[in-house]
Chain A
Amino acid sequence: MIDTITILTGFGRSGELEAVPRIDLKMGDVVSIVGPTGSGKTTFINDIELFADANTPTGRRILINGERPPVEYRDDPARNPIALITQHTTFLSDLPVNEFLHTHARIRITNLAERETAIERTLSFANQLTGEPIALESRMTELSGGQTRALLIADATIICNTPIVLLDEVENAGIHRTRALELLRQYRKIFIFVTHDPRIALLSDYRIVMQRGRITQVLHTDAEERQLASVVSRLDDILSSLRDKIRLGERLTSLELEGVA
């Protein structure tokens, strides 16, 4: 059972120590990583996924339940408690979707009965996030950027089904982000979102601010921000509905913006 994950921090690109010595995440925590492009957000979650042990350029170390993670986490994907959804929007894999998912389920899920239903559930999860549905027979390399991200999110959530999920800029994926958040939040896990999105940031317990490769601040979402969250969500919903209408070739009317403008 995983209760906590600890990041013993290191130093930034210029060698300066990070602003906090450690970060402890408890089961159920939702955290955002924010910062300009190039500030080290991806590196931060990669360190977690690699179970960094002062052997990456940042010098960070990762503890699970307060201890060094056992080597089996890296050697046996069925025991790896972390699923990482990277920024990749293409697959290099030359396999059909079906075979890819089956192979992944085979090594991630030990229970045979669960394995069978997992493929179907993964596909249906993914297809709730994309405009154009993914077919099991398509080749992985044929999928669009959005379909790729949708499949990776669904794969991480259902096939990996790990207690810790790391997501790198899901908002840029060209998927139904709001739906993705709804679906993800049905699961009790530690979620770490790399994000520029105010909606995701405000739904987090706190956000880790990065600059030049180092953590500069940890900001807990305060009472005022929590109040803002619902307005931000409404604005965001309005914008996504505008986006959907444009996509479907419809016209926009002033009605859409009622209560805002």
Chain B
Amino acid sequence: MKLAICAGPATTGKTAVLRHIIRKLQDSGQRVAFLKIDVQYAEEDEQFAREFGIPTRKVYSGELCPDHCNVMVLGDALQWARKAESDVLLVETAGLCLRCSPYVDGGLGLIVLEATSGMNLPLKVGPMLSLADVAVVTKIDRVSQAEREVFRARIQDVAPGVRIREVNALYGIGIDPLVDHIRAQADAEESMLLRGNPPVGTCTICVGKKEIGWQSHFGVVRALDNQTFYRGE
């Protein structure tokens, strides 16, 4: 089973992009599962379950940072998606930490940025951009070609190794290369690591324990099925 994690600021078009990706994966006979991670409100899981009839889940991170929540619940989520016999697990997350990355080694990391956001956004999103595999630029229909190209250059300046894909997520233009990236991804391993180096902090993730799954962490943790709970040692 393949894993792709899609992060990005609110309203950049993550859900719109994923909707086209799911449709194309389904058309080619792939079974998709979807997990949405948000702070306090989300309905993407219900939408996608209705539109595509696929297994979906959501988890509210509440007082946890969504990136940390992702680390906690992803182990369970992979098991859940495997049990549902999915070929691809897609995760949508707000990626609010801006210090940690929302991506894991062994999964495709997609950041969704909007061409309308202003030229400094690429400088502000930290590891969410620099540790991504692909930067998806949406809303190219709303800006001139020149602005689109300068926005691309600003991304490249911050993250020279990241592939840039421009899309119009209203009409699904430019989605095929993203689907190809997911197809080319190796299957997710049983145990995986959070990408990058978290900043110094007080939680087990912030202090650098990068193992995916709450079972590897202590203090305030989160399982996919439960509210946050304390796991002491």
* Residue ranges of A at the interface with B (Cβ–Cβ < 8 Å): 46, 49-50, 55-57, 74-75, 77, 83-86, 88, 91-95, 100, 103-104, 106-108, 152, 155-156, 159-160
With A94-B118, A95-B119 given, is the CB distance from A56 to B146 under 8 Å? no
Q: Is the CB of B144 within 8 A of A152?
A: yes
B118 touches A107 (CB 8 A): no
Which residues on the A side are within 8 Å of B84 (C-beta)? Answer: none
Answer whether residue B145 sits at the interface, using C-beta atoms and an 8 A cutoff.
Answer: yes
In angstroms, Cα B122 to Cα A103, docked, is 14
Q: In the bound complex, what is the Cα–Cα distance between A107 and B120 (angstroms)? A: 18
Once A56-B173, A57-B171, A94-B119 are accepted as A-B contacts, the answer to whether A86 and B144 lie under 8 Å apart by CB is yes
B125 to chain A, nearest CB (A): 16
Interface size on B, residues (CB 8 A): 25
- Residues of chain B lying within 8 A (CB to CB) of residue A92: 116, 118, 142-143, 147
* Distance A233 CA – B150 CA, assembled complex (angstroms): 37
User: Which residues of chain B are near A156, meaning CB under 8 Å?
Assistant: 145-146
Interface CB pairs A-B, < 8 A, 6: A55-B176, A56-B173, A85-B145, A93-B150, A107-B153, A152-B146
From A57, A75, A93, B119 is in contact (CB under 8 Å) with A93
State the 3 A-B residue pairs at the shortest beta-carbon distance, nearest first: A84-B145, A88-B144, A77-B149
Expressed in whole angstroms, the minimum distance between the Cβ of B139 and any Cβ of chain A is: 10
Minimum CB–CB distance for B8 against chain A, Å = 17
Q: How far is the CA of A88 from the CA of B176 in the complex (A)?
A: 27
Q: Is B209 an interface residue (CB 8 A)?
A: no
Contact A100 B150 (CB under 8 A): yes
Contact at A95–B145, with CB atoms within 8 Å? no
A103 with B153: CB separation less than 8 A: yes
For window 117-148 of chain B, which residues contact chain A by CB distance below 8 Å? 118-120, 141-147
Q: A104 touching B118 by the CB < 8 A rule?
A: no
Q: Which residue of A lies closest to B116 (CB)?
A: A92
Knowing that A91-B147, A155-B146 touch, tell me 14 more A-B residue pairs with CB under 8 angstroms: A49-B145, A55-B172, A88-B143, A91-B144, A93-B119, A94-B118, A94-B119, A94-B120, A103-B150, A104-B146, A104-B149, A104-B153, A152-B146, A156-B146
